[in-house]
Structure 1
Amino acid sequence: MAGPLQRRAAGRAGGLIDAGRLRVGIDGVFPLSAAPQAHARAERGHLQGKIVLRVVD
């Protein structure tokens, strides 16, 4: 479970994202059914951001 410090940091990060002052880099978006391919992409390295698995269309 997250402690008070982690919750405060997450809240601050969320505020920065909402304000457009912090951007999260996304390397690729994959459907959940392509999780093995997404994992392989991450293992190859050279990512330019995070890999996102889309759970619902």
Structure 2
Amino acid sequence: MAVDEYGIPASGTVANCSQTPLLIEDLETEAFPAGKAYDANGLLGMLKEAEIATGAAF
């Protein structure tokens, strides 16, 4: 979840999946459990390239 400087969740009219690559760019993780809202080819390609498991069944 992205939050502002006060810890309040960020919201708006931009799709979350389009902003996710910016948020996880330097994140060190092995898995990205997300729902269908994050099923975007660009994001999935980035996660695959980084060898990060996706989906409910890792």
Q: Structure 1-normalised TM-score?
A: 0.27
With a CA cutoff of 8 Å and minimum separation of 6, indicate the structure with the bigger relative contact order: 1
Q: Structure 2-normalised TM-score?
A: 0.27
Q: Going by fraction, where is strand more abundant, 1 or 2?
A: 1
Q: Going by fraction, where is helix more abundant, 1 or 2?
A: 1
